[in-house]
Amino acid sequence: MSPSKSIAEQYEFPVSFAQQRLWFLDQLEGPGAAYNVKLPVRLSGPIDPECLQRAIDYVVDRHESLRTTFASRNGAPVQIVSSSVEVPLVTQKLRDATPDRLQRKVGELALHEFSLEQGPLLRVHLFDLDEDENLLVIIMHHIIGDAWSSGVLFHDLARAYDAIVAGETPDLPELPIQYADFAVWQRDWLAGPHLDQQADYWRTQLADAPGLLEWPADRPRPRRQTFSGGKVLHALSADLSVGLKDLAQRQSCTLFMVLLAAFDVLMARYTGSEDTVVGTPIAGRQRTEVEGLVGLFVNTLVMRVDVGGNPTFAELLARVRAISIDAFSNQELPFEKLVEILQPARDMSHTPLFQTMFALQNTPWEAQPIRGVTVSPGETSPGETAKFDLSWSANEFDGELWLSVEYNSDLFDATTIEQLVAVYESMLVAIVENPSIETASLGVALPHSDLRRLADWNDTAMAYDRGVTVVERVLEQARRTPDAIAIEDDGERMTHAELASRIEGMADNLRNVLPSNETQVAAILVDRSPAMVVAVFGAMHAGAAYLPLDPQYPAERIEYMLDDSGSAILITDDAERGALRSFGGTLVVVDEAGAVTSVRRGDPIDVCGVAAGTAYVIYTSGSTGLPKGVCISHAALANFIVSMTRTPGISPGDRLLAVTTLSFDIAALELMLPLTAGATVIIASTETAADGRALATMIDACEPSVMQATPSTWRMLLNAGWQGRQGMTILCGGEPLDRALARQLLSPRNELWNMYGPTETTIWSTCMRIADGDTPITVGRPIGNTRIHILDGQMRLAPIGVAGELCIGGEGLADGYHRRPELTDERFVVDPVAADGGRLYRTGDRARWRRDGTLELLGRMDRQVKLRGFRIELGEIEAALTSVSGIEAAVVVLDEVSPGDTRIVAYVVPEAPKEGVDTARLRDELRRGLPDYMVPSLTVAMPSVPLTPNGKVDRRALPWPDWSSLGADGFVAPRDAIETAVADLFAEVLGRPAIGVHDSFFELGGHSLLATQLVARIRDAFAAELPLRALFDAPTVAGLAEFLRSDDAEALARALARPHHQLRPRAADRRHDVPASFVQQRMWFLDRLEPGNPVYNLVRSMRVSGELEVAPLEQAVAALVMRHETLRTTIVGVDGEAMQRIEDECRVPVVIESIDSGAAIDTRLAAIARRPFDLATGPLVRVHVLQSGEREHVLVLIIHHIVADGWSMAVL
């Protein structure tokens, strides 16, 4: 089928699908220059401006598209073709203009906006550069023409000009059709089976495709696209260009396929996704009738390629070839229609389906000659707009390939793009040399500039006396400052000399009972007191490795740790603890000051020592549910303490308040760092450390200069009313530090340090002093003698800015896991980067290097989830929640409500628990910074976040989400007149019977055209200036209602005072039959083919326990039938067409049946469900009550799908 000229006399026409999208974007963003198409042409020779103007008039008269403007009809666009339009030739002298000035001038012209409503949408400029030297610049809006159209337009213009200059009338062949004819044909053609065939292909091809693939950016993505852009140009050598063409020939594919396959490898490498998606333009002019038309025919194909499995390049090229051929075979489905069909999650920050465009322009522009004039391409301005994150184009010119990369300058700097181009070029060279090269080997070598930066950032060499342990440093410090205060505890003080004496005494006692043949584990189970400090240093000084145990732990956990560690000795301040009853080793009892009061030797037990030089064994949570012991050496501990002494630093006069349980490894910093520097440790009791008010009081009383805690503890302190302490050094780590908390902690002019490090690399491995306004909050750079690599899935260095797994090497690494060699080998691996083959610890954390040399944490590898095609970091949602005023803390998890239905659940702690959480306001606040697919479906308020003994979030202790609190499927009915009116309009446009106030317009099937229709109707109903963008910012009834409330209050009051039918224009005259919807027509047709088929019967049953009164139930059913006219609807045939007949009244009886047994109930339920409906006579709903006992009933509701859907069942 081909488009035909059947509408030549019409004035107003439908738009094509491509025009519809550009009109929609213009409505959404307002007029802009992103979709301006420019063609600069250098004309060397005499030009007659008057003849050129007449040629322009001729071409404008020849092509209706050049006389087209656009208008809105009921929220939908139409194109209007005027019989005549003036497009004046604008002339200007620019003699002696430099090339740069000329480029800027062309760029300025291209940035001038068009009005789609007013037109004209074509501008023509002629610059007089010199005698017989001119620059012609043609600019049109993309909605009336594409790049191909530029060539058509200049061809017709040149031929017309030649004729006019020669005194002749231009006589170009008559156009067989106009663009409006094509638009009408396109809509008719896609209304047939062709749409379904091609749509099925694209649905399958793009099923579960990633919704957003992000290249490493220099700046965070703005909430909205601004279309600001830049351009980088790079020429490939002639030899490489020839080699690529030869490779394409040998592999029986096109040059485009070769270049795309290489680009897919580059994209996988830099986005971290082996599932790559790009868009590629295609001319869309398969039919000869449209080849000579000015119009928007270009279409975009979505090319999805799986780069996984490490194929050779030749194998990947075969994949790309097959995918390309299939895509080109299904190219007639407009991209705009594809978006409408697939309904991807909408986000104003990026384009749907793909964010990177890839193209090959290998058809050279051949200018139509003009007699006496040399025609050549004119000066092009540097790119100043960008429609996508990247538009990567290869252009062939004089036998060489040029790469032209248009980039989003909100995201990228030109140097970043230049590096990408350099890597891409190196990959092209490699595949030409060896097409059988494994793709995992391509792009591995980072640019030299990146390698230099990474080496500089990991240059952390730190010299110190490695032969001195931490405990020896503490004793040496005591000799230097014997009278300085070492420990304060509840008003009691201990000097450094007294502490040293206690340590020596403890060590002597332990040496007497420790086996001397190997390093043994000495467990410590002591309340927070000086005895805890003495026990730690005394055990190490005696040659044992200490094992910290928390007295708050359950007895079973303590018993497990004692048994698994093989502890030979247990130091405790209470020999009667229940957890010690099964301990058979030696028990050393101490008083609060750390003096040994008794030693009870145990029976000989089979103990397993640890490696010589082990300082401590500490247990962390294990993936199996059982904790695992981490063995830290004296050397690693000393390296850490020396590094911390230098940065962040500590001085002899400092006072550090210790609040962390000993069983959390960061407690070692609180005890060891001050005592090696002559400073003071102030010990907070367990009760004080867990009570925000008590801790705030203690801080005010003891005036510490340094304090370390997790973000959860700092929040607890701030929420208890602590105002901060000016000049205090705050160390924050163990959990991500969000911006809101950082701002609060910095407000009293504190010194704030963000610390990061897993237990397996000795407490902290990086640190960063945070300044007010830092965005994002990073964890800085590695500490002394520590190296950090970001590695991809193949354990290769990830490029700077690309996310990967954070791996740590250096002197802080643990020896491994106690008695867990398999796990040690799994997590501690050979460093693939280091020349000496050292070890690395795989943290399981996602991170990336920023270009300033700091590390940005992106969450756990196992906490990055995929939802609706998008990779989501749950920590980002948590940070957004805590930035909302009134929210103290938040935890986000995923919950699978039912198979295939996974939703986001937010657990929040409100600052004012009695006031609760305004979930509607919370969702609206979140939507200002998060895309809709990241907004939690359910919010659960809690008095506090459950914490582990280490002060981290205990996710296992979170309450089970109760989805019933939202009603069926999360439905929340409108709560006032505004929401009711808006919900009615939602329902009308979407064709749904009921809309909840938090239901997303787009998740319910809304698309761009329906969006414009909805906004148009809301504008009419409320007499409000509602911008289209408001619907995208808040795509819910609640969100739009809030926007309307903030608008003109008087106008809103007038709108609500109108008769209700004015707010519901869909209401029809029910005295006559109403046309059935498309879906209803289809079901009616199927029912006529196979009458009585129960396949479309919807059944919902529920068990009711208790006394059931029939009369009130019948009244409730009657009320439902009167409330919902669909329950009073039958479907009748009128002149062969399906019509809805809505009765004023309809009785639906409640049928009561007695059933003897459960099995009989199931049989009867099945029979009721199979009973057919008569669509013409109705009613199309039935209610049954199956009584199985005096107080046991099953309520059954059956309704035909032609008048309801699954959503309706939940509403009923």
- CA-CA distance, 327 to 206, in Å (whole number)? 11
Give residue 1193's pLDDT.
85
pLDDT band at 1000 (very low <50, low <70, confident <90, very high): confident
* Chosen CATH of 1074-1211 out of 3.40.630.10, 3.30.559.10, 3.40.50.2300, 3.40.1280.10: 3.30.559.10
Angle made by CA atoms 491, 497, 501, in degrees to the nearest 5:
100
* Residue 1052 reports pLDDT greater than 90: no
Share of the chain above pLDDT 70, in %: 90
pLDDT in tens, 687-729: 999 899 999 999 999 999 999 999 889 988 998 889 888 889 9
Give residue 1's pLDDT.
41
Q: Answer whether 18's CB lies under 8 Å from 12's CB.
A: no
- What token pair was written down for 68? 């087209």
* Chosen CATH of 227-285+295-366+379-445 out of 3.30.559.30, 3.40.718.10, 3.30.70.120, 1.20.120.790: 3.30.559.30
- CA-CA distance, 38 to 106, in Å (whole number)? 9
Closest by Cα among 642, 594, 662, 631 to 469: 642
Give residue 1207's pLDDT.
46
Instruction: Assign 3-class secondary structure to 27-82.
Output: HHHCCCCCCEEEEEEEEECCCCHHHHHHHHHHHHHHCHHHHEEEEEECCEEEEEEC
- What token pair was written down for 421? 């181009």
Give residue 848's pLDDT.
93
pLDDT band at 1060 (very low <50, low <70, confident <90, very high): very low
Hey, is 1085 helix, strand or coil?
helix
| Backbone φ/ψ region at 763: left (φ over 0), alpha (ψ -120 to 50), beta | left
Q: Where are the domains of the chain?
A: 12-185, 227-285+295-366+379-445, 494-617, 652-772, 974-1063, 1074-1211
* Residue 1021 reports pLDDT greater than 90: no
Give residue 994's pLDDT.
80
CATH second-level architecture of 12-185?
Answer: 2-Layer Sandwich (3.30)
pLDDT band at 809 (very low <50, low <70, confident <90, very high): very high
Residue 106 makes CB contacts below 8 A (sequence gap 6+) with 38, 40, 135, 137, 378, 379, 380, 381
pTM flag (> 0.85): no
* Residue 321 reports pLDDT greater than 70: yes
Cα-atom radius of gyration of the chain, to the nearest Å? 37
Question: Under CATH, which number does the domain 974-1063 receive?
Answer: 1.10.1200.10
pLDDT band at 381 (very low <50, low <70, confident <90, very high): low
pLDDT in tens, 834-863: 877 799 999 999 999 998 999 999 888 876
pLDDT in tens, 1090-1105: 677 776 788 887 888 8
Residue 528 makes CB contacts below 8 A (sequence gap 6+) with 658, 661, 662, 683, 684, 685, 686, 689
| Residue with tokens 């045939």, as numbered in its chain | 1133
pLDDT in tens, 344-360: 877 888 899 999 999 99
pLDDT band at 1076 (very low <50, low <70, confident <90, very high): confident
The sign of the dihedral angle between the CA atoms of 661, 664, 666, 667 is: positive
Give residue 363's pLDDT.
63
How many helices (DSSP H) and strands (DSSP E) are in the chain?
35, 48
- CA-CA distance, 301 to 291, in Å (whole number)? 20
Q: Answer whether 277's CB lies under 8 Å from 436's CB.
A: no
* Residue 1018 reports pLDDT greater than 80: yes
pLDDT in tens, 141-151: 999 999 889 98
**Range scoring the smallest mean pLDDT among 147-151, 382-386, 517-521, 783-787:** 382-386
Task: Taking residues 987-994, report their average pLDDT.
Answer: 81
User: Hey, which bits of 920-1029 come out as E strands?
Assistant: 938-941
For residue 1009, which amino acid is it?
L
Which neighbouring-strand residues pair with 753?
Answer: 731, 769
Give residue 900's pLDDT.
54
* Residue 1051 reports pLDDT greater than 60: no
Question: Would you identify the CATH topology of the domain 652-772?
Answer: Rossmann fold (3.40.50)
pLDDT, mean over the chain = 86
Give residue 1067's pLDDT.
43
- What token pair was written down for 1179? 């009613």
Please determine, looking at this structure, whether the domain spanning 494-617 carries the CATH number 3.40.50.980. yes
- CA-CA distance, 282 to 611, in Å (whole number)? 66
* Residue 428 reports pLDDT greater than 80: yes
Break the chain down into helix, strand, coil percent, rounded to 5.
35, 25, 40
Residue 63 makes CB contacts below 8 A (sequence gap 6+) with 153, 156, 175, 178, 179, 293, 294, 295
Alpha helical stretches, state H, 166-254? 179-189, 193-205, 238-250
Exposure b/e, 768-795, CB count within 10 A at least 16 = b: bebeeebeebbbbbbbbbbbbbbbbeeb
User: Hey, which bits of 533-671 come out as E strands?
Assistant: 545-548, 569-572, 586-590, 596-600, 614-620, 628-633, 655-658
Exposure b/e, 5-31, CB count within 10 A at least 16 = b: eebeeeeebbbbbbbbbbbbbbbbbee
For the packed helices 335-342 and 193-205, what is the interaxial angle rounded to 10 degrees? 70
| Residue with tokens 């799986």, as numbered in its chain | 306
The number of beta carbons lying within 10 Å of the beta carbon of residue 952 is 16
Q: Answer whether 364's CB lies under 8 Å from 222's CB.
A: no
Q: Answer whether 870's CB lies under 8 Å from 212's CB.
A: yes
Same CATH fold assignment for domains 494-617 and 1074-1211? no
For the packed helices 17-29 and 179-189, what is the interaxial angle rounded to 10 degrees? 100
